[in-house]
Amino acid sequence: MDKMDVKSDMTRPSDFVDSPRLPGCALVRTALVIATLGTSALLVMWIVVGLLTPGGLAAIDHRVLAMLHNIYDPNDPIGPAWLEGAMRDVSALGSNSVILFVSIASAVILVMMHRIGPAVLLTSTMIAAFLTNTILKTIFSRERPDYLSLTVNVETASFPSSHAMLSAALYLLLASITAREMADRRLATFIMISAGVTMLAVGFSRVYLGAHWPSDVLAGWLLGSAAVLAAWQMARSPTPPEHKPSASASRDDDLLA
């Protein structure tokens, strides 16, 4: 194998994360920016509404949870029993055990497919997200709502929501790694939207079950999507510069011609 072959093997697009050689990377970057800006806008709007509401953010958090729970039993979410069960199932998609299992399984699959760059990105991003969430929970030590469903167990502080943050980081990142190699924009867009819907569903389920204040979930969505966008940008592979002959070389070529 000559030097050119070694170089091309070392710069395979499959080992890159955000490579201009891959057809879906531009769409993925746009989707991640939209997700981060969208969650930022939601959180800012929530803060503004909270500041304009008597009682502040705590009051609006309480008001939303009160709307989602039985007025006579704060620990009973509104709606039929099957809906509460469905919300528990959706919430499980953001649990630590599911997040850990999916992260490890996905990283192993990526390594087996020789997608080393994405595997390293997935592993490092999820570790960073988990540590960040743990540190923030320790710093803020926010108490859980009084609306917690009797069928849900919690052991950590409330802010930010680990379910919302970790599910946003994992599912957006997996969708991005998948969509980056797709030339079909409709399919790539559907995959990114599906990840976004999953993220939103997990976050809403935590509020519905009374496990988190709405502001906990909004902060988790923002932190998770921002973590993926930051990691994606740091792992970016720019287009190699094209070799342009110097003016003297061009004159020499003209003389030889």
| Residue-level pLDDT at 12 | 58
The pLDDT score that the predictor gives to residue 14 is 57
Instruction: Please give the residue range of the domain that contains residue 227.
Output: 22-69+77-238
Report pLDDT for 196: 95
158 within domain boundaries: yes
What is the distance between the alpha carbons of residues 39 and 35, in angstroms, rounded to a whole number? 6
d(CA 208, CA 222): 19
Please determine, for residue 75, whether its predicted confidence score (pLDDT) is greater than 90.
Answer: no
* pLDDT confidence bin for 235, thresholds 50/70/90: confident
Q: Is-contact 231 168, C-beta < 8 A?
A: no
pLDDT (average), residues 69-87: 87
> Mean of the per-residue pLDDT values for the chain?
84
Helix H or strand E segment including 40? helix 25-52
Q: What is the predicted pLDDT for the residue at 244?
A: 52
Does some domain include residue 205? yes
User: Into how many domains does the chain fold?
Assistant: 1
Q: What is the mean pLDDT of residues 74-97?
A: 90
Q: What is the pLDDT of residue 236?
A: 73
The structure tokens listed for 79 are 């709606």
Residue 253 confidence (pLDDT): 46
Considering only 17-26, 101-110, 123-132, 225-234, which range has the smallest mean pLDDT?
A: 17-26
Dist CA 8 CA 2 (whole Å): 10
What pLDDT score does 73 carry?
Answer: 84
Q: Which residues sit opposite 18 in a β-bridge? A: 236
Contact 141, 157 (CB under 8 A): yes
Domain-embedded: residue 256: no
Q: Is residue 245 a part of any domain in this protein?
A: no
For residues 117-127, average pLDDT: 92
Query: DSSP letter at 153?
Result: -
DSSP assignment letter at 236: B
Q: Between these two residues, 2 and 171, which has the higher pLDDT value?
A: 171
- The per-residue DSSP string of 60-103 comes to HHHHHHHHTB-SS-TTSBSS-HHHHHHHHHHHHTTSHHHHHHHH
Is there a domain that residue 17 lies in?
Answer: no
pLDDT exceeding 70 applies to what percent of the chain? 86
Q: What is the pLDDT of residue 21?
A: 78
Average pLDDT over residues 31-49: 92
Query: Which one, of 200, 257, 196, 230, lies nearest residue 29 by Cα?
Result: 230
Q: Is residue 94 part of a domain?
A: yes
Q: What is the pLDDT of residue 242?
A: 52
